[in-house]
Amino acid sequence: MSRLGKRPIKLPNGVKLSWKPGNIFVEGPKGKLTRNIPESIKVELKDSEAVLQRTEESKQARADHGLVWSLLNAMVKGVSEGFEKRLQSVGVGYRMSVQGQKLTLNVGYSHPVIFDLPQGVAAKVSDQTKLSLMGIDKEQIGALADKIRGVRPPEPYKGKGIRYEGERIQMKEGKSAAGGGK
């Protein structure tokens, strides 16, 4: 049995969870989320806690048990607290700016790269180099952060590019160090 799947998920005050076979609905102070889940998983509500159980003992149902627990836990945290990913650009002249639902990146290309932010995602730029993405859907925030990082990933020689806050880049030595003496 899944070790995570056995643990109950505590529902904070103000979070409502409803379930019908194949779907989970979570509503909280920050918004609403819904997700399709396998029919082999059912949800029981007990004293402001949600407990997941399998309806069958197949290999796929056992695999889905922990996955659905993790997804549901992220949904509950998202509608109660929200999620945030932070990115920073490193490089001479690298800048970011947000106007409404548009994110503009100037990261060394001949043109600025413009992203339309999806519904439910808020962005804030500080110091023109630090970007915060905020929202209630963990999967959506992570995918968007990865897409933005993919515009100019950090390179290993000078470290220029867009990276996650706190990410450490393994730097390489340049050509001069590689050759050796003649």
Beta strands in the chain (DSSP E): 9-10, 16-20, 23-28, 31-36, 41-46, 49-54, 83-90, 95-99, 102-106, 113-116, 121-126, 130-135, 161-164
The per-residue pLDDT for 136 is 95
Residue-wise pLDDT for 33-60, tens only, equals 999 999 999 999 988 899 999 999 889 9
Measured distance CA(41)–CA(125) in Å, rounded: 41
pTM: 0.87
Is the predicted pLDDT of residue 119 greater than 60, yes or no? Answer: yes
Contact in structure between 9 and 76 (CB atoms under 8 Å):
yes
Measured distance CA(76)–CA(145) in Å, rounded: 21
Coil, strand or helix at 65: helix
The per-residue pLDDT for 174 is 81
The per-residue pLDDT for 177 is 64
Is the predicted pLDDT of residue 178 greater than 70, yes or no? Answer: no
- Domain architecture of the chain: domains with CATH: 3-80 (3.90.930.12), 83-164 (3.90.930.12)
Sign for the CA dihedral angle at 96, 98, 101, 102 comes to: negative
Q: Which of 36, 4, 41 is nearest to 23 (CA)?
A: 36
The per-residue pLDDT for 173 is 87
Max avg pLDDT among 9-23, 43-57, 141-155 = 141-155
Is the predicted pLDDT of residue 1 greater than 60, yes or no? Answer: no
Indicate the pLDDT class of residue 182, thresholds 50, 70 and 90: low
Indicate the pLDDT class of residue 6, thresholds 50, 70 and 90: confident
In what side-by-side order are the strands of the sheet with 121-126? 121-126, 130-135, 83-90, 161-164
DSSP 112: -
The per-residue pLDDT for 89 is 94
Tokens of 116: 């339309």
